[in-house]
Chain A
Amino acid sequence: MNIIVCIKQVADTETRIRLTPDKKTIDTSDINWILNPYDEFAVEEALRIKEKGQGNDIITVITIGPERTTAALRSALAMGADEAIRIDVEDNLDSLATANLLVDVLKNFEFDLLLFGKQAVDDDNAQVGTLVAEKLDLPCVTVITELKLDQGKVTVKRELEVGAEFISTSLPAVLTAEKGLNEPRYPALRGIMMAKKKSVDLREGKADESKIVVTGYQYPPERKGGKIVGKGQEAVPELIRLLREEAKVF
C-alpha cells in the first residue's frame, strides 16, 4: 500500500519569537527548525502500518518550502520513510495555496492513505488536510487518535469532549493526526545514516497568490510581576479585596 504523509517544518516550540522591526514578519535568524510535532504522529503511524504490513508498503513524505525544509524531510526519512518530495517555494503560503500545490502533486499519485498532522504548531490554521481532501474528493477524518486497517477499510477513533467516536471509511482516505495517536520514535543512527544517502525529489512549485495576507504581528503582553500584599493574618482582607476587585477571580 502507498502511504503519503504531508509534513511541515516549523519553528521549535521553545523558540523565542522575534519580529522584524516593522512587525510585519518574524525574524527567522535565531530559529531552530523542527518537524511539526503533529506531523510526526502522522509519520510514525505510517511507519507502524508499514511494520505490520507485508513489506511492500511505501511511505512518501512531502513538504513545501525552501531549502531549509529538507531537514524536516530528512527527519522523516531517518524515522523510516522511504521517499521524500520537496516542492520548492520560497514564500509563506496561506492554507489554500498550500493545499493547491499539494493537490497538483498528489493528483498524479496513486495512494491508499494520505496523512497529515491535525495542524502545524506555527500558524495553527488546521486547514490544509481538509482542503486537500475536498479538492481530491476523498473522505476525510480529522484529529484521530487511533487507526485500524482492515480489508480495504480504515477505522479511526476521535476523542470527543464527552467520549469517543469510531468512524470507518473506505480507502483512499485523508486522516489528520492528533496527539495520542502514538509515540513517535527517536530515529536510530542507522536510520539517520540511511536518510543522508537518500535523495529528495525536488519539484518546481508554482504557487497561487495567497488570498490571506498577514498584515502584522504583535508580542503577547508582558507578564507582570507578582505583588506581596503583606504578611500573616492582617494581609488576608486586602488579599481577598484584590482577588475580587483587581484579579476578579471571585
Chain B
Amino acid sequence: MHHDLASREVFWNISYNYIIYFLLVVVSTIFFIGIYRRVRLWRRGRPENRFDHMGKRLLAVLKYGVAHHKILKESYPGIMHAAIFVGFVLLLIGTTTVSFDYDVWGLLFGQQSFLRGPFYLYFSFALELAGLSALIGIIMALYRRYIRRPDGLTNKHDDLIFLAGLGIIILTGFLIEGSRLAATQPEWARWSFVGYGVSLILSGLAPDNVLLLHRILWWSHLSLAFGFIAYIPFSKLFHMITSPLNIFFLSFKPKGEITSIDIEHSETFGVSHIDNFTWKHLLDLDACTRCGRCQDQCPAYLSGKPLSPKKLILDLLDELNRTAKCSSSNAVTNDALNHTLVGSVVTHDELWACTTCRACMEACPVLIEHIDKIIDLRRDRVLMDSDFPRELQATFRGMETNYNPWNIGHVKRADWVQDLNIKKATENDTFEYLWFVGCAASFDDRAQKVSRYFAKILNAAKVDYAILGAEEKCCGETARRLGNEYLAQMLMEMNISTFNELHVKKIITTCPHCYNTLKNEYPAFNGVYEVYHSTEFIYKLLKENKLSLNRINLSSKMAFHDSCYLGRVNDIYEQPREIINRIHLHQLIEPGEKHHEKSFCCGAGGGRMWLDETIGERINHVRLDQFAAMDVQQLVTACPYCLIMFDDAIKDKGIEHKMNTVDLIEMVAMSLNLKCTDEEADDLVVEGKGEKDLFSVDITS
C-alpha cells in the first residue's frame, strides 16, 4: 500500500479553472448585496440594546445553533436537520480546507500540499460521511414535507428549490468523485466509499466519455453551488445566517417579563406599524424557518382560533417586505405605511386570542419572541385608540376603581379571612413574609377556600407573615397582558409604594400570575423582593422540616396540570410533583406529552380569563379532554385561574361524577389534617364532593 502518496489533484481534468475566481467575486457580491438589503430592513426598527453579554451570546449560539438544543426536541425533524447541518458544515470546512491548501498554502506561500498521505484519506473519508449525512437528511426532509405533510408545514416553491438543489449538489459531488475515481483508479479509492461505488458503475464507459462526463458534472456542480451561495439571502436558506444571528441577539430578561414602555416620555405607545418594532423584532421575522413548531403547541390555534404564531410572524414578514417596496419608491406617507397593523395584517380575533402561555416561544428553535410582539400590538390598540373587545371595559374599570378585575368593592378584598388568625401588615410592625393574596384568591369563591387552607398551613408551620387586606391592589399582570400598560404601571407602582413603606423584603403568593409579575416585572419599577410561589414555599417548609406531611389515600388516577406561569415561564416543575409524591400513594399520570414545558394552557392567561371565547372550541375543554382521555379522576392544579377554568369545564361537560379538581394547597392541608372551619370540613374538595370521596381509592367505585 502506498497510502503515503495518497492525494488528489485539484482541478484535475478541468481547464479554464481561473473562471471560478471571477465567479466567486460575482457570487459573493450578490450574496453580500442580498444580506445588506435585509440588514437595511431590520434597521428600520427602533433601537434596542442587544450588544451586552457577548460571551453568553456566543455560548447561546453554540447551545441552540451548533448543538441543536431546541431543534432536537422533536426527534424526526431534529435528526433530519442535524444530518443536513452536520453534512454541510463539514463539507464547507472541507472545501475551505482544500481551497486554503491549494490557493493560500500552495499558490501564495509555495508550500507543499498538506492534504496528502493518511491525513488526506481520513479527510476524504470524513467528507464522504458528511455528504452521505446531508443526503440522508435531505431525503428525510423531502419525505416529510411532500409525503407525510404534517399540519405545521406549509410548502412554498422555495422549499422544493432548495431541497432539490442541495440534493443535486450532493449527488453531482458524488458523481464527480465517482467519475474521477473511474478515470484515475487510485489504489486508495475505497476510502471514498460512495464515490468508489459510483466509479464501479461508470467503469463500463469509454475513458473519453468518463472524462467528458466528469467535466460536465464538475461545471454543473460548481454552477449550482455558486448559484446557491448567491441565492441564500433571497431564500429560506437565509436562515443559515439569520437564525444564528437571532439566537446571538437573544433576550436575557426573565422569561415572564414583558418589556416596559416609558409612558411619561412617549408620544405613541405600542406598535401600530411595522417600523415601530425594534430591529431585533424585525430580525425575528427573517429568522423564522416556517418550521411550524410554535403552531403545533399553540392552544389558540389548536382550539380553532384564527391565531397561529407562525402565521403571525410570516404575515408581519410579508408586511416588512411590502413596506420595503413602498419606502424604496420614497412614499413614506403612502397609505401602505400608515395603516395600523391590527385590522389589516393581524386581525382583531388573532390579536386577542393569545393566552401568553409561552408555548410558542418555548418551542421555537431560533428563539423568536412572539409574546412581546402581541403585547405591543395590543398596547397600540388599547392605549392609542381604546380599540378592544367591549367586555374588557368592565375589567379595566374594575382594576381602576376597585383594583381587581372582578370589580368587587376594594374594601371587601380580605373578607375571605373571616375568623382566621391572620396579621395585617399595616397594623403590625414586624413580619417576615408578606403574603400577597392576589385578586383571584381574594374574590373567587373556590379560590378563597384555597386561601383559607393556605393560611392554615402557614399558621401550622408557624410562619411569621402578614397580608395587606384592603391595601392590596391587583398586581397588574392582567392589565399588562391585555395591553393596558398605563393601568398596569399604575397598579404596580401603587403596590411597590405600599411594599416599600412597610419595608417588605419577602413575598409569598399562591397565584402564578402574581408570582411572575412580582418576581420578574416589579424589579423594572424598583420593586425588588424575594418572591415565593406557595408551591416553592411549601417545598421549602418541607425541606426545613417545618411541615410533615401524612400520606393519604387519594384516587389512584391523579394528574398534575403544569400552569403556564409556574412551569414554562418560571421553571417550577418538580417542586409540586415532589410535594404530591409525599402525599399521594400512586404514580402521577402525565397527559401524553402535554406536561412540563409542553403543558397546555387552561385558557385563562394573557387576560383571556376576561374575554369571551366565541371562536372554535373552548381551550379549557380541550385541556380537560386531554386529562379525561387518560381517565384522570383528580386533577391537581397550583393556580387559581386554572382551578376556575377546569371547574367550569367539568361543569360544562357535566362530568362532575367522573372528575374533580383539587388545588395543591388543599391537598397539603388535607395531608396535614387541617380544616378551615367545621362548616367547611364537609366540602374539602369540590362542591358536591365530600372528604369521603377524596379519601376513597376510586371515586367512581
Contacts and interface: CB of A to CB of B under 8 A. Distances in A.
B401 A30 contact: no
B72 interface: no
A15 B407 CA distance: 10
A183 B388 CA distance: 13
Given A30-B470, A32-B401, A189 B383 contact: yes
A190 B383 contact: yes
A111 to B, nearest CB: 27
Most buried by B among A185, A186, A191: A186
Interface string B369-401: 000000000000011111010101100110001
Contact of A186 (B393, B407, B470): B393
* Interface range on chain B (Cβ under 8 Å from partner): 20 to 34
A200 interface: no
Contacts of B485: 189
A16 B411 contact: yes
A85 interface: no
Contacts of A183: 390
A96 interface: no
A12 interface: yes
Contacts of B412: 16
A2 to B, nearest CB: 25
Contacts of A30: 411, 470
Given A32-B402, A186-B393, A186-B396, A12 B383 contact: no
A183 B394 CA distance: 12
B383 A14 contact: no
Nearest to A33: B401
* Interface range on chain A (Cβ under 8 Å from partner): 10 to 19
A34 B401 contact: yes
Interface in B671-689: none
Given A30-B470, A189-B269, A15 B409 contact: yes
Contacts of A187: 386
A188 B267 CA distance: 12
A19 interface: no
A12 B402 contact: yes
A14 B408 contact: yes
B410 interface: yes
B486 interface: yes
A192 B409 CA distance: 24
B24 interface: no
Contact of B486 (A34, A185, A189): A189
Given A32-B402, A192-B486, A15 B386 contact: no
A14 B405 CA distance: 13
Interface of A: 12, 14-16, 30, 32, 34, 183, 185-193
Lowest 9 A-B CB distances belong to which pairs? A189-B383, A14-B409, A188-B386, A186-B386, A189-B486, A32-B401, A186-B393, A12-B401, A16-B411
Given A12-B402, A12-B409, 18 more contacts: A12-B401, A14-B407, A14-B408, A16-B411, A30-B470, A32-B401, A32-B402, A183-B390, A188-B384, A188-B385, A188-B386, A189-B263, A189-B269, A189-B383, A189-B384, A190-B383, A191-B386, A192-B486
Interface of B: 263, 269, 382-386, 388, 390, 392-393, 396-397, 401-402, 407-412, 470, 485-486
